[in-house]
Amino acid sequence: MSLTTGRGERDYADGNYVAIDAGWSDAPPRKGFFTDTSVCIGCKACEVACKEWNGVPEDGLNLLGSSYDNTGALGASTWRHVAFIEQARPMGRQDAGLAGLPVGPTATGSVNQVAANQVAANQVAAQMVAGEVSQLGTSTRAVELGMPSFELPGVRAEAGDRTDFRWLMSSDVCKHCTEAACLDVCPTGSLFRTEFGTVVVQDDICNGCGYCVPACPFGVIDRRIGEQGTKNVGIAQKCTLCYDRLGSGQTPACAQACPTESIQFGDVEELRERAATRLAALQAAGVSQARLYGEDPEDGIGGAGAMFLLLDEPEVYGLPPDPVVTTRHLAEMWHMAVAAAGTLLVGAAMSFIRGRR
């Protein structure tokens, strides 16, 4: 099957054409990831395994206040990021065992009820509750934090108090793009295409110029900040798809650690087929919002080496809906810049000549 990419016609029969284009004459099959977010449980084993194997320093243990996410986004010290997206939606058919059961009350609803029961047991306090005032003179009404209940579904609340709720969890990573803008703009050759078709930074060659940072359409790569003496501070950093492990025939650390096989590692062509099969199975089971992301070799980045199965729009997960390699029009832009400079030069020369007459 042939396809048109930003770099011309390509044929699947070329095998690992990204590595062949980069000069690898005897490249093995292209390696990558298929991340099936429908089975991610948000355990973050992948984040931890990545940090441990690659010696990536911690980048703040801060709860964001918007969810149980404490890393926020991919960055120089977060090469895997597990997003926790909270939605007021029923879990529906993605749920393994709770589908059809009543959903639980919010934590706030439970707390209000417990507080009211205890206070009502006391005659005097009950009068105060009528005024919604405690013995300390403050409100007895709990504040809505939007947190789910820890109780079993339907234990305490009436049907009217119940809330539908689901978590979307997704382990994001560098996409190891077929057309990788980070690699295109790197002036030192620090970013390079490996024989596995992946994109890797060489720490000892990177000069920290940061050109790659705005070039990435996904906001993946960044320069590491930290105290003087922090490993690779100032150097652009991102997932290497565990280049060292691949070289010795091992599975990347994150995929190895994932207990649910949400992160699947393998040959990109085979992963594409696996992703299509899984999508068909989910849609047949009624998960109509399921979709693939990054699997299409004719998209704006020529297809990703790391593709995803999502359960909602890409924007919900913080992913651009239609990413395009930022260097796609670089040659045209250079031609236009040269033409504009030429026009200016001719104009200046003509004014100079006219001025002398």
Residue 293 in contact with ligand SF4, rule: CB under 6 A: no
Q: Which stretch binds ligand SF4 (CB under 6 A): 43-51, 95-103, 110-118, 141-149?
A: 43-51
Interface mask (CB under 6 A) for ligand SF4, residues 57-76, using x and -?
--------------------
Residue 300 in contact with ligand SF4, rule: CB under 6 A: no
Q: Which stretch binds ligand SF4 (CB under 6 A): 47-55, 111-119, 281-289, 310-318?
A: 47-55
CB of 103 to ligand SF4, least distance (A): 22
Q: Which is nearer to ligand SF4, 119 or 271 (CB)?
A: 271
199-201 and 191-193 as β-strands: parallel, antiparallel, unpaired?
antiparallel
Which of 41, 281, 338, 346 lies at the binding interface for ligand SF4 (CB under 6 A)?
A: 41
Name which of 159, 145, 68 is nearest 107 in CA terms.
145
Query: What phi and psi values does residue 344 have, to the nearest 5 degrees?
Result: -60, -40
CB of 23 to ligand SF4, least distance (A): 18
Q: Which is nearer to ligand SF4, 78 or 106 (CB)?
A: 78
CB of 174 to ligand SF4, least distance (A): 4
Q: Which of residues 73-112 bind ligand SF4 (CB under 6 A)?
A: 79-80, 82
Residue 175 in contact with ligand SF4, rule: CB under 6 A: yes
Pairwise CA distance, residues 122 & 163, whole Å: 30
Residue 185 in contact with ligand SF4, rule: CB under 6 A: no
Burial of 63 (0-12, 13-18, 19+ CB in 10 A): exposed
Q: Which is nearer to ligand SF4, 20 or 242 (CB)?
A: 242
* Structure-token pair, residue 351: 């004014």
Residue 181 in contact with ligand SF4, rule: CB under 6 A: yes
CB of 166 to ligand SF4, least distance (A): 15
Pairwise CA distance, residues 239 & 251, whole Å: 14
Q: Which is nearer to ligand SF4, 164 or 244 (CB)?
A: 244
Contact 172/50 with Cβ under 8 angstroms?
A: no
Contact 264/33 with Cβ under 8 angstroms?
A: yes
Query: Please, what is the Cα angle at 108 between 105 and 63, to 5 degrees?
Result: 105
Pairwise CA distance, residues 121 & 356, whole Å: 103
Q: Which of residues 235-274 bind ligand SF4 (CB under 6 A)?
A: 238-242, 252-254, 257-260, 262-263
Rama region for 354: left / alpha / beta (φ>0; ψ in -120 to 50; rest): alpha
Contact 201/237 with Cβ under 8 angstroms?
A: yes
Considering only CA atoms, give the Rg of the chain: 27
* Structure-token pair, residue 167: 């978590």
Judged by CB under 6 A, how many residues of this single chain contact ligand SF4? 43
Contact 212/188 with Cβ under 8 angstroms?
A: no
Q: Under DSSP, is residue 255 helix (H, G, I), strand (E, B) or coil?
A: helix
Interface mask (CB under 6 A) for ligand SF4, residues 186-205, using x and -?
-------------x------
Residues that bind ligand SF4 (CB under 6 A): 40-46, 49-50, 53-54, 79-80, 82, 169, 171, 173-177, 180-182, 199, 216, 218, 220-221, 238-242, 252-254, 257-260, 262-263
